[in-house]
Chains A and B, each alone.
Chain A
Amino acid sequence: MVQQGKLVVEDLQMSYSTAEGPVRAVRGVSFTVEPGEFYTLLGASGCGKTTTLRCIAGLEQPEEGHISIGESIVYSQADGIMEPPNRRDIGMVFQSYAIWPHLSVYSNVSFPLVLGRRRLPRKQVREKTMRALSLVHLEDLAFRPAPLLSGGQQQRVALARALVAEPKVLLLDEPLSNLDAKLRGEMQLEIKNLVKSLGVTTLYVTHDQTEALTMSDKVAVMRDGILVEEDMPRNIYLRPRSAYTATFLGETNLIAAKVVQCSAGNGMCQVESGIGPLTCPALLSGKEQDNVWVAYRPEGVNITPEHPQRENVFPGDIKAIIFTGDQVIYKIEVQNQMLQAKTDPHRDFSTDDRVFVELSPEKCLLIPREH
């Protein structure tokens, strides 16, 4: 039903001028979204993810680079091509939904088919519009005036409108940030299931890492206009390749260390750190590197009252306890460094307890450290 388009972005560069001088928002970003893939650009505010999306939509003029959607080149600085947004085969959901208040739900959704690029006869318009509305479960509200909708409903109208013309690529700019937490959780799954069932290539922009990990086939972390790394959610979470990614996605304990010796046989290395010696798997990149971070997820930390007689165990004192409902977060001081651990809420330690902190070797991760 939906066309499948491949989105290719190459060496995209874009800056805009402010009162303090030009700001380079996007600095050479390249990535590919395969047909039918759900790809997320994840990053903090100001990292350039929304600007990248807007360049793909044609709402911003980049300075350099190349963008193609499906078979068409929509932007190429070298060839002097810049397709305006109305001639790109895209659908877009805005952060503010941008539902037109003077139109009904039906008129909002049918707009691309009535005034857009490919205008269809009335019967087909009705057919496709009602189908799009049923995909988002809004058929019953078709003739309600748009301003009388709740936030969640407006968001679904925006989604239906973006999909009604069956675009090659669907762009979503932080569409869930205005919703409350519960609704956000529901909509995450709904959107993912919807676009997957349609098989439409999707580019999603968010600063919320949970969203990124829940919904995407691939996550790309952006920072200061650069794409830091991209990978599948599980890999990018468990095996980040940079310290920034490790701390951006969830919490990570980062312990500065130096590699002492690596054994080629079992692929493990000995490192010396501020808390003591550790055994960890070798660096992912396989490079020789002296200075490293040991990255360890708090939820993987094992806290025991007695020494478990295994590797990578260190004594420490509990300094803070934070109960968040489904977890308890412990901040433990080990050798003048604060480590974080997350356990299930049934574990019950007290402040100033002396405990043993175990960082299992297989859950350790070595990341290069630049100094």
Chain B
Amino acid sequence: MARVALTLPRPVTWHFTMPKNIFPLLLAILLLGMVGAPLIVLGIASLRPPDALPFSDAGWTFSNLRTVFLEASTYSLLKNTFFYAAGSLALALPIAFFLAWLVERTDLPGRNFMSTAMFVPMVIPPFAVAVGWIFLLNPNNGLLNNWIRYLFALDIYRGPFNIYSVWGMIFVTGLLSVPSMWLMLIPLFRNSDPRLEEAAATSGAGRLGTLCRVTVPLMAPGVLAVLVYFTVIYIEIFEIPLALGLTANYPVLSTKIFLLVNAEELGELAYSIAAAFGMLFLIVGVVLMAFYLFSVRMSAKFAVVTGKGYRPSIVKLGAWKYLALGVIGAYFVLAVLLPFLILVWTSLLPFYRAPSMRALELITISNYTKILQQHEFILAMKNTIIVAATAATASMILASVISWFVVRRGGWLSRSLSVLSFTPLAIPTVVLALAILLLYKGSPIQATLFILILAFATRYLAFTTRVMHAAQLQIEKSLEEAGLVAGAGPVTTFIAINLRLLLPALVNGWVWVVAHAIRDFTIPLFMAFTNTIMLANMIFLYVNAGRPGIYTAYMVVLIVMVVVIAFLARLRLGSQMGGAK
């Protein structure tokens, strides 16, 4: 007597069986909603008259698009943005390249500890570093400016350096992007075959000649890919232009949109223009991302696959190592030490005073005790932790499930899931924040933590999917099949075996997202409401109110939090953590 089991409809020729594909289909719809819906609303909003919300029936107009795309001021804005990006590249690349070369191709002492050292400037919140540099180099009473004026007996009231300028922005941005760039350049050195360089040397080329004629051209496509990648980052960067660019009267795309959304006197009016700028920004982002993908493909052609026993030729530095160590030391002093110290110093004083023997007597922890007693601090801390942890959990679970389908099932549906999960990369964070804000504007959800969680989860989806995809590939299919054959259902197998084996990657990814969400300024500043403020909002509030003791105390707390969390992740993950984006 036959026992009748699951009945299936007769499979259509290409094996599309309903029950098998319904779940990935739902996932795809969810992703479309997460990524596509905000962008559609952005488009709609840009076509509305200036004083209307996207979902009102106020009719359509092209005036916003005309304003944005056809006015000269837009192009000077773009010019500013690209100049800033180019300057940051020009500063960061030589430093990062030099450091990568030192670690990979010389006998620099302590080079194995470089990646540990590098991670601090990588995770420290850029806004805090920028503010630290304001204390050091603002034209009026910047500490370093004072010292330089004193040392060189300069007879000027301001300067000589002014951090409130595009040069100041480039300086801070360039310095802080060195670790991520360095991380991306290291594999280029590893993959380039030194035997090709040796061949050049044996044909008589000097060290410089080899460098110029062989090493650099071989690495050029890979370096190009890195350059384009960072151009994308610099174009969309928000925190440093916010801290320095506004006062410097040097708007870039990201701060322009921020101003439009936050200008008190304009109220609702500016949303549609902001949306129009958002569309411009999006197009720039997409084009650059396409260019990046193209240059990655190009550089793949130059990759040299090295065999076992590959040992690059090491340059002996001899006495030059002191110079190299000096350069490295100078970098860390400028990028991390000086700004952090001035922040700590300021946080320990009731009001800002230049360091001196007398000022030392005023040191107090009253700022810290003050903020710890503020109920907004507790609220901000609570919100920050909830948002970061929830976004990380949601993002990791989504990424695990998506990666499972992509790796195990394949096919067009899974590939689309993969593509959809990577699209947030092409969307500048500012645009994403603005788009989600507009999507939920006017609805009760806008004042909840939900939109913040949604924004962060969407923002980091590309990274988490990439991490889980790599991890899922390591897990042999037969391990799951053995679970099924042993009688465990698909969900039981997924949880008891697959997720359990993915746990290290899950935890590492989770901690990475938490660290990045806590230190982010863009999404909180665009999207938080009165009762959903995060730590970044508190900092911004007090910066605007001009309370240095308070906001530096907040910053120090934030920096310590982020560094500790990131350090915990590092202990498990090692130096595989990706660059900061």
Query: For the complex, is B59 an interface residue (Cβ under 8 Å from A)?
Result: no
Please tell me if the beta carbons of B9 and A100 are within 8 angstroms of each other in the complex: no
Q: Which of A70-78, A237-245, A363-371 contacts B (4 or more CB under 8 A)?
A: A70-78
Smallest CB separation, B91 vs chain A (Å): 46
Please tell me if the beta carbons of B486 and A59 are within 8 angstroms of each other in the complex: no
Query: For the complex, is B11 an interface residue (Cβ under 8 Å from A)?
Result: yes
Measured CB to CB, the nearest residue on chain A to B3 is A72
B490 partner residues in chain A, CB cutoff 8 A:
84, 86
Using A94-B481, A94-B482, A98-B478 as known contacts, say yes or no to A71 and B487 having CB atoms under 8 A apart.
Answer: no
Please tell me if the beta carbons of A80 and B8 are within 8 angstroms of each other in the complex: yes
Please tell me if the beta carbons of B500 and A91 are within 8 angstroms of each other in the complex: no
Query: For the complex, is B2 an interface residue (Cβ under 8 Å from A)?
Result: yes
Please tell me if the beta carbons of A102 and B500 are within 8 angstroms of each other in the complex: yes
Please tell me if the beta carbons of B487 and A118 are within 8 angstroms of each other in the complex: yes
Question: Which listed residue, A57, A58, A86, A100, touches B497 by the CB 8 Å rule?
Answer: A100
CA distance A179 to B11 in the complex (A): 40
| Contact digits for A77-116, partner B, Cβ 8 Å, 1 yes 0 no | 1011111111110111011101011100000000110011
Question: Which listed residue, A61, A68, A82, A86, touches B485 by the CB 8 Å rule?
Answer: A86
Smallest CB separation, A203 vs chain B (Å): 13
B15 partner residues in chain A, CB cutoff 8 A:
61
CA distance A77 to B479 in the complex (A): 28
Query: For the complex, is B489 an interface residue (Cβ under 8 Å from A)?
Result: yes
A74 partner residues in chain B, CB cutoff 8 A:
5
Question: Which listed residue, A80, A92, A115, touches B7 by the CB 8 Å rule?
Answer: A80
Question: Which listed residue, B485, B488, B492, B500, touches A59 by the CB 8 Å rule?
Answer: B485
Please tell me if the beta carbons of B8 and A98 are within 8 angstroms of each other in the complex: no
Using A94-B478, A101-B501 as known contacts, say yes or no to A115 and B484 having CB atoms under 8 A apart.
Answer: no
Question: Which listed residue, B9, B489, B496, B500, touches A86 by the CB 8 Å rule?
Answer: B489
| Most chain A beta-carbon contacts within 10 A, residue among B3, B6, B17, B501 | B3
Measured CB to CB, the nearest residue on chain A to B10 is A80
Smallest CB separation, A211 vs chain B (Å): 20
| Contact digits for A56-67, partner B, Cβ 8 Å, 1 yes 0 no | 011101010000
Please tell me if the beta carbons of B486 and A115 are within 8 angstroms of each other in the complex: yes
Please tell me if the beta carbons of A98 and B5 are within 8 angstroms of each other in the complex: no
| Most chain A beta-carbon contacts within 10 A, residue among B2, B8, B486 | B486
Using A71-B1, A115-B492 as known contacts, say yes or no to A82 and B487 having CB atoms under 8 A apart.
Answer: no
CA distance A107 to B85 in the complex (A): 56
Measured CB to CB, the nearest residue on chain A to B4 is A81
Residues 461 to 506 of chain B near chain A (Cβ within 8 Å)? 476, 478-479, 481-490, 492-493, 496-497, 500-501
B6 partner residues in chain A, CB cutoff 8 A:
81-84, 87
Measured CB to CB, the nearest residue on chain B to A90 is B485
B7 partner residues in chain A, CB cutoff 8 A:
79-81
Please tell me if the beta carbons of A57 and B485 are within 8 angstroms of each other in the complex: yes
Please tell me if the beta carbons of B3 and A71 are within 8 angstroms of each other in the complex: yes
B501 partner residues in chain A, CB cutoff 8 A:
100-102
Residues 142 to 167 of chain A near chain B (Cβ within 8 Å)? 158, 161-162, 165
A96 partner residues in chain B, CB cutoff 8 A:
476, 478
Query: For the complex, is A117 an interface residue (Cβ under 8 Å from B)?
Result: yes
CA distance A196 to B256 in the complex (A): 79
| Contact digits for B417-431, partner A, Cβ 8 Å, 1 yes 0 no | 000000000000000
B4 partner residues in chain A, CB cutoff 8 A:
73, 79, 81
Question: Which listed residue, A61, A83, A92, A102, touches B5 by the CB 8 Å rule?
Answer: A83
CA distance A77 to B490 in the complex (A): 22
B486 partner residues in chain A, CB cutoff 8 A:
86, 91, 111-112, 115-116, 161, 165
Measured CB to CB, the nearest residue on chain A to B486 is A112
Residues 229 to 270 of chain A near chain B (Cβ within 8 Å)? none
Smallest CB separation, B21 vs chain A (Å): 13
| Most chain B beta-carbon contacts within 10 A, residue among A59, A61, A98, A116 | A98
CA distance A108 to B346 in the complex (A): 59
B3 partner residues in chain A, CB cutoff 8 A:
71-73
CA distance A361 to B9 in the complex (A): 58
| Most chain A beta-carbon contacts within 10 A, residue among B2, B5, B15, B487 | B487
Smallest CB separation, B105 vs chain A (Å): 37
Using A86-B488, A100-B482, A115-B486 as known contacts, say yes or no to A72 and B2 having CB atoms under 8 A apart.
Answer: yes
Smallest CB separation, A97 vs chain B (Å): 8
B496 partner residues in chain A, CB cutoff 8 A:
115
Residues 192 to 214 of chain A near chain B (Cβ within 8 Å)? none
Q: How many residues of B contact A (CB 8 A)?
A: 32
Measured CB to CB, the nearest residue on chain A to B14 is A17
Measured CB to CB, the nearest residue on chain B to A70 is B3
CA distance A116 to B485 in the complex (A): 9
CA distance A290 to B496 in the complex (A): 63
Smallest CB separation, B411 vs chain A (Å): 9
A71 partner residues in chain B, CB cutoff 8 A:
1-3
Please tell me if the beta carbons of B11 and A61 are within 8 angstroms of each other in the complex: yes
CA distance A112 to B492 in the complex (A): 12
Using A71-B1, A94-B478, A98-B478 as known contacts, say yes or no to A112 and B500 having CB atoms under 8 A apart.
Answer: no
Please tell me if the beta carbons of B5 and A85 are within 8 angstroms of each other in the complex: no
Measured CB to CB, the nearest residue on chain A to B15 is A61
CA distance A139 to B501 in the complex (A): 26
Measured CB to CB, the nearest residue on chain A to B479 is A98
CA distance A83 to B5 in the complex (A): 6
Measured CB to CB, the nearest residue on chain A to B480 is A98
Smallest CB separation, A336 vs chain B (Å): 47
Please tell me if the beta carbons of B476 and A98 are within 8 angstroms of each other in the complex: yes
CA distance A95 to B7 in the complex (A): 31
Please tell me if the beta carbons of A59 and B481 are within 8 angstroms of each other in the complex: yes
Question: Which listed residue, B5, B492, B500, touches A87 by the CB 8 Å rule?
Answer: B5
CA distance A116 to B497 in the complex (A): 13
CA distance A162 to B482 in the complex (A): 9
Question: Which listed residue, B10, B476, B481, B487, touches A116 by the CB 8 Å rule?
Answer: B487
A162 partner residues in chain B, CB cutoff 8 A:
485
CA distance A96 to B17 in the complex (A): 29
CA distance A245 to B462 in the complex (A): 54
Smallest CB separation, B410 vs chain A (Å): 10
Smallest CB separation, B13 vs chain A (Å): 10
| Contact digits for B1-40, partner A, Cβ 8 Å, 1 yes 0 no | 1111111111100010100000000000000000000000
A171 partner residues in chain B, CB cutoff 8 A:
485
Smallest CB separation, A301 vs chain B (Å): 44
Smallest CB separation, B502 vs chain A (Å): 11
CA distance A80 to B4 in the complex (A): 10
| Most chain A beta-carbon contacts within 10 A, residue among B2, B6, B482 | B482
Using A81-B4, A83-B5 as known contacts, say yes or no to A63 and B484 having CB atoms under 8 A apart.
Answer: no
CA distance A79 to B5 in the complex (A): 10
A118 partner residues in chain B, CB cutoff 8 A:
487
A87 partner residues in chain B, CB cutoff 8 A:
5-6, 487
Please tell me if the beta carbons of B482 and A92 are within 8 angstroms of each other in the complex: yes
Smallest CB separation, B3 vs chain A (Å): 4
CA distance A98 to B490 in the complex (A): 16
Smallest CB separation, A202 vs chain B (Å): 15
CA distance A94 to B477 in the complex (A): 11
Smallest CB separation, A255 vs chain B (Å): 45
B478 partner residues in chain A, CB cutoff 8 A:
94-96, 98
| Most chain A beta-carbon contacts within 10 A, residue among B15, B479, B500 | B479
CA distance A34 to B151 in the complex (A): 99
Using A61-B11, A115-B486, A161-B486 as known contacts, say yes or no to A85 and B481 having CB atoms under 8 A apart.
Answer: yes
| Most chain B beta-carbon contacts within 10 A, residue among A85, A91, A162 | A85
10 CB-based A-B contacts, threshold 8 Å: A59-B481, A59-B485, A63-B11, A74-B5, A80-B7, A83-B6, A85-B481, A92-B481, A100-B497, A115-B488
Chain A residues in the interface with B (C-beta under 8 A) = 57-59, 61, 63, 68, 71-74, 77, 79-88, 90-92, 94-96, 98, 100-102, 111-112, 115-118, 158, 161-162, 165, 171
Extra 7 A-B pairs, beta carbons < 8 Å, given A71-B1, A112-B487, A158-B482: A71-B2, A85-B484, A85-B485, A87-B6, A90-B485, A98-B482, A115-B496
Counting from the closest, the 9 A-B pairs by CB-CB distance are A116-B487, A98-B482, A117-B487, A98-B478, A112-B486, A83-B5, A85-B484, A92-B485, A72-B3
